Amino acid sequence: MPSRIDAFAPAKINLFLHVGDKRADGYHALESIAVFVDVGDKLIFEAADTLSLNVEGPFGAGLAADNDNLVLRAARAIARHENIDAGAAITLVKNLPVASGIGGGSADAAATLRGLVQLWNLTEVGPRVSRKIAETLGSDVPVCVECRPSWMEGRGEIVTRAGRIPPAMLVLVNPGVAVPTAAVFGGLTQRSGIDVASRIPIERDVWSLAEYLKSTKNDLEAPALSIAPVIGDALAVLRAQRGVYLARMSGSGATCFAIFESDSAAIAAADAIAAAHPGWWVKAARILT
């Protein structure tokens, strides 16, 4: 078995998010297209006798390395499922803001499954086991295991390949607030419902992607704004940039994203926003296809 495996946990962006009725299991029915970008957390897995987790990085202080951490929960789940009598010293470099609507914790859990499949030499059963375990860890974890542009349905566990998504450059902005997902769903008063978004293939260019998304919305944006009005400031700043096609909140917030007409426009906007708002987290990030 290898002695060390490095894994990337990319941020997940919900290009739109429609919410349906609350289900019998307490979850809401969802409909979304999720994409992943080239900005994310890093995980390092080293052979060891026991499982352990060390959290570091720019946002490491905001995340506890305790038994409820999704990384350790994922590690324990795959070890238990496969009867693994081995450990791993795991280091999580937390580059993404915590509780920010871009699936950081779920991406970390999914990367843990991928990393331990390699470290523990489970490649023959890895994909099947990872998908099965992902469903038990959270609504966003299954799509993060797939780690490609995907439709999300059900409570998030039904994942299918999306149409062709162009490798657009986005600008991500988090105004420095953490928004609890439960509180956002609790404040939801209007729902688009599910099965309302067109399933036609998305065209290859960025303009077509933006035009398609204008027929959709993020139902969680309004309740998130009521909890953290600064999200509105972030959206206003993004919409004021030159060359912007569309700006929207991702997931349950508070991270917002914008699609621009060109890579150069996106990079210029990210630089301008970061200079004007040094307390915000601002990144230019490319969609992974």
- Whole-angstrom distance, CA of residue 178 vs CA of residue 100: 6
- Whole-angstrom distance, CA of residue 257 vs CA of residue 235: 8
Q: Which residues pair with 56 in a beta bridge?
A: 93
Q: What are φ and ψ of residue 199, in 5° steps?
A: -100, 15
Which amino acids are annotated catalytic?
A: 12, 140
- Whole-angstrom distance, CA of residue 165 vs CA of residue 15: 11
Residue type at 282 in one-letter notation: V
Name the residue among 212, 217, 192, 193 with its Cα closest to residue 201: 212
Q: Cα angle at 49 between 5 and 112, to 5 degrees?
A: 35
CA 159 to chain centre: 14
C-beta of residue 95 within 8 angstroms of C-beta of residue 57? yes
